[in-house]
Amino acid sequence: SRSTSGELVICQEKLVQKAVDTLLDNGIRGQPMRDGHNKVYKSFSDIIEDKEKRFREILLKKRVDYSGCSIIIVL
């Protein structure tokens, strides 16, 4: 059976939507998409999450020396 052009358009729209979903949040539709080497594709949300974790680690590692701080109160 031959598909009509409308059916082909709907099929292509679904493929594009799946690709966009994978790009934004891989695994949102169940199983994450993988490449030819069975490696999971990294999505934008994964990249942002990794950067937030690294930023938080950097902030938590910083030590602040308050020994030289003083408070001035104006009366």
pLDDT tens, per residue, the chain with 75 residues: 577 888 899 999 999 998 888 888 887 778 888 888 999 888 888 888 888 888 777 777 777 666 676 677 777
Domain-wise residue ranges, the chain: 5-61
Asked if 23 and 44 touch (Cβ cutoff 8 Å), the reply is yes
pTM attached to this predicted model? 0.54
* Of 20, 18, 44, 50, residue with least CA distance to 31: 18
